[in-house]
Amino acid sequence: MDKKNIKQKILHFPLTKVIIGLIVCGLIIGLGQTLIQKGLNFTNIDKDLKTLIGGIFVAVLAIISYTYLFKFYEKREITEFSKKGIIKNLLIGLVLGVILQSLTILVIYLKGGYSVISINPILFIIPPLTSGITAAIIEETLFRGIIFRIPEEKLGSYISLLISAFIFGALHISNPNSSLSAGIGLAIQAGLLLGAAYIYTRNLWFPIAIHFAWNFTQSAIFGANVSGNTISKTLITSKIEGAEWFTGGQFGPEGSIQATFFCLIATIILLVLSHKEGKIIKPYWRE
């Protein structure tokens, strides 16, 4: 085997592609965030609006960097961000995310643990809107677009799904007010569900929409913490109290048992549909 073939095999080995993808996209996103923040500091725009503009800029930069990197690297069209069916995938994803989060809060409400303290000015939705957009687009681009998609080509859908879900949950254990149980919950709620959403549609718009709707509804509408983080302003200021198993405690409703249950049901449905439609990729040793 000549040296050129060896280099090509190493360059296109899944782990190599994952590492290069994360490094290149991560560096571009980080650099872009620094530059846009410095640029916005020279303006007199409202602080929340600056954050929103910066967040949208970085989110768009994540999509652009991913698209051009893998178009060049893998010599293919980037169908993950295809415009075909984008409206349908975004709308269904938004509805699904809102429903899942609303069911989670409904359980807390029915057990007497949720109450509204005040309804705030409409502009209070800007911070959670910013957080929702940036987290959904950047995390889905990196996790489902790189960490899940690339290993799936060799390891198959199910193994790659478990690996990417484990990594997603493990990284969130370091979040404020987090715990091992919260990390396991997020591995199922986001790691499995959003991976299954990608498998079913084979594009990133669907999981991005679910991710955004889940976070935005949780913070902006219901006034709850998101993955242990408190948003400075929300449309509704609420009080959530009760046993941690159904409220999630300071970590937020994502740490509750019902959030994991509802998201697991949605995951199973998406995987069953994907299996029926032949969208599950088998590991290379079973092909």
| 189-220 pLDDT, tens digit each | 999 999 999 999 999 999 999 999 999 999 99
| 131-181 pLDDT, tens digit each | 999 999 999 999 999 999 999 999 999 999 999 999 999 998 989 888 898
Q: Given this model, what pLDDT does residue 178 score?
A: 87
Nearest 5°: phi and psi at 119? -110, 125
Of the chain, the percentage scoring pLDDT greater than 70 comes to 98
Domain boundaries, the chain: 85-286
Q: Is 212 left (phi over 0), alpha (psi -120 to 50) or beta?
A: alpha
Confidence band, pLDDT 50/70/90 cuts, at residue 1: low
Q: What six digits make up the tokens of 54?
A: 């910066």
Q: Identify whether the C-beta of residue 143 lies closer than 8 Å to the C-beta of residue 164.
A: yes
Residue with the two structure tokens 């959030």 = 259
| 95-139 pLDDT, tens digit each | 999 999 999 999 999 999 999 999 999 999 999 999 999 999 999
DSSP 85: T
Residue 91 CB neighbours (<10 A): 12
Q: Identify whether the C-beta of residue 143 lies closer than 8 Å to the C-beta of residue 207.
A: no
Residues whose CB is less than 8 angstroms from the CB of residue 257 and which lie 6 or more positions away in sequence, other chains included: 185, 245, 246
CA 191 to centroid of chain Cα atoms: 8
Q: Identify whether the C-beta of residue 93 lies closer than 8 Å to the C-beta of residue 205.
A: yes
Out of 16-25, 35-44, 226-235, 259-268, least confident range: 226-235
Q: What six digits make up the tokens of 260?
A: 């994991």
d(CA 196, CA 211): 13
Residue 89 CB neighbours (<10 A): 22
| 24-66 pLDDT, tens digit each | 999 999 999 999 999 999 998 989 999 999 999 999 999 999 9
